[in-house]
Amino acid sequence: MAAKEKLDMFCYQCSQTAGGTGCTIKGVCGKEATVARLQDNLLFAIKGISAYLYHARELGYTDPEVDAFIERAFFSTLTNVNFDPQEFLNLAVKAGEMNIKTMKLLKKAHIDTFGEPTPTQVRTGTVKGHGILVTGHDMNALHKLLEQVEGSDVFVYTHSEMLPAHGYPGLRKFRNLAGNLGKAWFDQRELFANYPMALLGTSNCFLIPREEYRDRMFATGPVYIPGVRHIDGYDYSEVIAKARSLPELPDAPGEYVLTTGFSTSVLLGHAAKIKDLVTAGKIKRFLLVGGCDGPSRKWDYYREFVQKLPKDTVILTLACGKYRFNDLDLGDIEGIPRLIDLGQCNDAIVALEVAQALAGLFGVGVNDLPLTLVVSWMEQKAVAVLWSLLALGIKGIYLGPIVPGWVNEDMLKILVDKYDIRLISTPDEDIKKMLG
């Protein structure tokens, strides 16, 4: 069978669409293929912003400027509105700026509500008692659940992007927050089947379940899955009852302990020491290695990459991409951990704040710091974060493990020529380029 050719574009949003099925070369309206792809790019970024904005709004935090931008950006993608590729690039950069505002807003909401994160060790096994496993990104939903089980024999475990919850004082104060199970989002079908506990999905990265555990799965917030009970609001009594109806889990410690909870204030509290270590040549380079994880073996790159980095480097990480290597013991450099978990994907704002603070400390621009960004992407929030980095003028980002499907040669040329985006190759080759 011949391989399918990659379409120049695909658009079927108006009645003029070619053959009634979709324009694939050029829009009947006159829209060029690259414009169609830039429209898609903008829509994906807006979706990512919307997820962060939703969680901030849950906690009572909003931003009318971001709301207004989302309206304008959506409007720009309607039929016969905007045919200018440069303007869509401008809107993508603006989306990055608005995502920075949104990530700051969400971080403020989390800190105001749950306190500022501090480094915390998190067990990876189970404790004796009934269990509820929470996946997704919603700290507020987790907080409401913890309030309802506190002091009982039902213990709550985090999964994937919920791991950073343990860093927040207002969440880890609950005795019934017992630990973290599993790794990134895509392990859940096997993980959920292996642990007889109630399951609560709070946001995206929730997979359609296997039948063997569908009856003990619940969804809340924007998550709806056929055959899965949806909880409106924050009354989790059904989830708790289901947990109690299942066998108790054993007291079974995991094979390793994870550390999370490095906030901006924590890291800047060590700024003087970090500067001294860099000046003395004891820290040669910082590398932000983070983003989305995925089931393909292409993501194996990131573990090998981190393992091969020399011991005079410090790795900052965030989002579920950290699970490729956050079980490794990389030691420290005179008390500064070599592996620093900044939190969820939206905590990219912490990385940006730290980078800007270090640039000020050394009296240089961010691009002149001994800092390299190695970013993995899987879904729309990562698109918003990438454009945030580009909006700040950060150059030389290594992107992987694959080129986004909507990026054609024209778009890739723009990203490479204007923003110095670099595609990953092999860990050995890339480390050689980065460390010179």
Tokens standing for 127? 């404790």
Burial class (CB in 10 A: 0-12, 13-18, 19+), 25: exposed
Provide the pLDDT for residue 6. 76
Q: Indicate if the pLDDT at residue 9 is higher than 70.
A: yes
Rounded to an integer, what distance in angstroms lies between the CA atom of residue 340 and that of residue 421? 24
- The tokens of 25 are what? 């070369």
Instruction: For domain 261-435, give the fold.
Output: Rossmann fold (3.40.50)
HSE (side-chain half, CA atoms, 13 Å) at 297: 0
Percent of the chain predicted with pLDDT > 90: 97
Output the pLDDT for position 366. 97
pLDDT attached to residue 2: 45
> Which three-class secondary structure string do you get for 357-392?
HHHHHHCCCHHHCCEEEEEECCCHHHHHHHHHHHHC
Closest of 258, 250, 18 to residue 131, by C-alpha: 250
Show Cβ contacts of residue 416 under 8 Å, excluding neighbours closer than 6 positions: 422
What CATH number was assigned to the domain covering residues 120-245?
3.40.50.2030
Q: In terms of C-beta density within 10 A (0-12 exposed, 13-18 middle, 19 or more buried), how is residue 37 classed?
A: buried
Question: β-strands 217-220, 198-201: how paired?
Answer: parallel
From the options 3.40.50.2000, 3.40.50.300, 3.30.70.1380, 1.20.1270.20, give the CATH code of 18-114.
1.20.1270.20
- In this prediction, residue 7 carries a pLDDT of 86
Q: What is the mean pLDDT of the chain?
A: 97
Confidence of residue 436 (pLDDT cuts 50, 70, 90): confident
The whole-model pTM stands at 0.96
Quick count: other Cβ atoms within 10 Å of Cβ 301? 19
pLDDT in tens, 130-181: 999 999 999 999 999 999 999 999 999 999 999 999 999 999 999 999 999 9
Q: Which of 4-8, 123-127, 153-157 has the lowest mean pLDDT?
A: 4-8
| Listed range (1-15, 143-157, 204-218, 255-269) with the worst mean pLDDT | 1-15
pLDDT at 1: 37
Domain locations in the chain as residue ranges: 18-114, 120-245, 261-435
- For the stretch 307-319, pLDDT in tens is 999 999 999 999 9
What end-to-end distance do the CA atoms of the chain give, in Å?
45
Average pLDDT over residues 260-280: 97
286: number of CA atoms within 13 Å, CB side? 23
191 versus 206: the higher-pLDDT residue is 191
Distance of alpha carbon 275 from alpha carbon 103, whole angstroms: 27
Q: What are the tens digits of pLDDT across the range 387-412?
A: 999 999 999 999 999 999 999 999 99
Tell me if 18-114 shares its fold with 120-245: no
